[in-house]
Amino acid sequence: MNTIPSIDLRDFLSSDKNKRNAFIKELGVAYENIGFAAVKGHFLNSSLSDRLYSLSKSFFNLPLDVKLKYSDPDLAGQRGYTGWGKEHAKGSSVGDLKEFWHFGQLVPDELKTEFNYPDNLLVEELPEFNEVGMEAFKALEDTGRFMLRAMALYLDLDEFYFDREIQYGNSILRPIHYAPITQEPPAGAVRAGAHEDINLITLLMGASAEGLEILTKKGHWVPVTAVEDHLVVNVGDMLQRLTNDRFKSTTHRVVNPPREKWEQPRYSIPFFLHPKSETRLDCLDSCIDGKHPKKYQNISAGEYLNQRLKEIGLLK
């Protein structure tokens, strides 16, 4: 945490212009330098977070044959259950030591044809899991909306630039279970290989155990542990691409615990905030100049997501 600034979203929501402007600057500088910030004053209360963690543990403790009822290979891991080793870091062929569940966006019935998202899968054995999961989804989505408003202002855009892009965006809430390690892992296998997130921003609820590390500009891996009542919010590749690398999508990983702690499971719940599929990720004109020529070809968010899902093994 001594490498990641702590900021309070309530300052941005304040009527005090000085607090509001200070938040915008601190957030922008953090994302230009390290791509991570710890945020308090968000909309996810501790009671809701605790309930979702408890229900996630209950789901992952279900028998494998029950969990597999909620695994549909045609969904490319975008809804329901994904089992052990199915996902790997870009550029790696070694599967991560994790299983996870995906909650996705809900849209009104009259818009389902327009957005064409797969339906969420409902866990019959734990009906409250779906209810609490979507409640947390909404709280994190609302938090992310205000974070993006602050970023828009820092980038000299209209404050509500991102609002229309993330309304009914293709966002994902992912409870993850890293099970106890019971034998020597395959060569190169870790809980989550070094990677950058695909989306605009990721909002991470405090994990149940240590293991998250970020790669500094100097090439050092630094452990990150969430402070109570904070979310760790980091830049994803979509936002880095949109800002022509002005905001940094920092490499991070989840390492295996030391051998004496192998028996300890780890649970983590990130929220991946995505825009709509048709949103353009073409580099912003305001982020291109003589010293910073355009680095990326034009592409839509949907095209980019499909490209990345293939790279990490979820889309064939």
For 128-156, the pLDDT digits (tens) are: 999 999 999 999 999 999 999 999 999 99
pTM for this structure? 0.93
* Domain limits, the chain: 6-311
161: pLDDT strictly greater than 90 = yes
Give residue-wise pLDDT tens across range 215-251.
988 888 988 876 778 999 999 999 999 999 999 999 9
- Under 8 Å between Cβ of 264 and 97: no
Q: Which residues pair with 270 in a beta bridge?
A: 204
Residue 208's pLDDT band, with cuts at 50, 70 and 90, is: low
185: left (phi over 0), alpha (psi -120 to 50) or beta: beta
Beta strands at 36-40 and 6-8: parallel, antiparallel or unpaired: parallel
| Other beta carbons within 10 Å of 91 | 10
- Under 8 Å between Cβ of 166 and 145: yes
pLDDT of residue 183: 81
Give residue-wise pLDDT tens across range 48-85.
999 999 999 999 999 999 999 999 888 888 999 999 87
The CATH architecture assigned to 6-311 reads: Sandwich (2.60)
**Phi and psi angles of residue 151, each rounded to the nearest 5 degrees, phi first:** -65, -40
Token pair 């050092």: residue: 220
Determine the residue type at 184.
Answer: E
pLDDT of residue 95: 80
